[in-house]
Amino acid sequence: MNCGELLIIGGAEDKCPEGEVLNKFVELAMRKPGGIGILPTASEIPDEVSKEYIRLFKELGVNRVEVLEVNSKRDAEDPAICEQLASFSAVFITGGNQSRLSELIRDSRLHKTLSKAWHDGMVVAGTSAGASIMGKQMIVAADMKLDDEKLKVEIGKGFGFLDDLLIDQHFSQRGRFDRLLSAIAENEEIMGIGIDENTAIVVSDGKFEVYGINQVLVLDGSSSDYINITIAENGSEELTLSGFRLHALTRGYQFDLKTRKLSLEKRIQS
């Protein structure tokens, strides 16, 4: 059996029946029975956040939408919650703080259950923090204000569905190019994917395809012929690099994750 699709959203996706990104998620989720589980652990207001998704997914025709109530490490070891998770056809990981997702869930029984279910075909979607958590590594540093000195980017561990990708979200909207470039310069075998708000990629079969209204930026350091990072006395980073490759994609375009190239079999989306 093949892994399920990953739907990775840059945050702030339209939560209305016309929103392309969540429509796509529901379309993928409904190919099988089981319904949708919402994992709101990243959020500090999980009930509020869940309520909106439940309303929308039901509006879009999903009969069973339930919340996975995981608020502690103990919850993440709870066999009943793991069983609940395994029963869905798709799981949706909300926004919030990706470090909280990592701290409470990473390496837990729930994490293993989710990984296995995904390997067996479950669709896994995540937005914002829920997008960052998809990689083996993720950026956890608090936002740098644009007029701050550049600080060293802090890297944490994600759920590891994508070993070779590092996802950043709210990308253009929060001016995160510098932090992604910095993260990739420190891990140049990993490819950086910066996803704008209300925009998503669907990853399957070694490719991704773009949905939604903005842009996805791909930063590839594997072709680099020079990287030098020094930390100045004041803690700011001095980054020099040469020969990175850059791609930008909008809706309908596909990117081949093996060749690391735009795939020009452009699919016509409805």
CB 156 within 8 A of CB 98: yes
Q: State the Rg of the chain over Cα.
A: 18
Does residue number 235 form part of the binding site for a copy of itself (CB under 8 A)? no
Choose which of 264, 265, 268, 270 interacts with a copy of itself (CB under 8 A). 264
Residue 47 or 238 having the CB closest to a copy of itself: 238
SS3 category, 111? helix
Residue 57 or 171 having the CB closest to a copy of itself: 171
Does residue number 16 form part of the binding site for a copy of itself (CB under 8 A)? no
* DSSP state for residue 87 in the 8-state scheme: T
Does residue number 248 form part of the binding site for a copy of itself (CB under 8 A)? yes
Does residue number 199 form part of the binding site for a copy of itself (CB under 8 A)? no
Give, as ranges, the residues between 132 and 151 that touch a copy of itself (CB under 8 A). Answer: 146-147, 150
Choose which of 27, 83, 143, 238 interacts with a copy of itself (CB under 8 A). 238
SS3 category, 207? strand
What's CA 162's distance to the chain center, in Å? 9
Dihedral of CA atoms 131, 173, 16, 36 in degrees, nearest 10, equals 0
Does residue number 79 form part of the binding site for a copy of itself (CB under 8 A)? no
The C-alpha atoms of residue 158 and residue 106 are separated, in whole angstroms, by 7
Token digits of residue 93: 């990981």
Task: State the minimum distance, in angstroms, from the CB of residue 7 to a copy of itself.
Answer: 20
Choose which of 84, 97, 204, 250 interacts with a copy of itself (CB under 8 A). 250
Tell me, by CB under 8 A, how many residues bind a copy of itself. Answer: 36
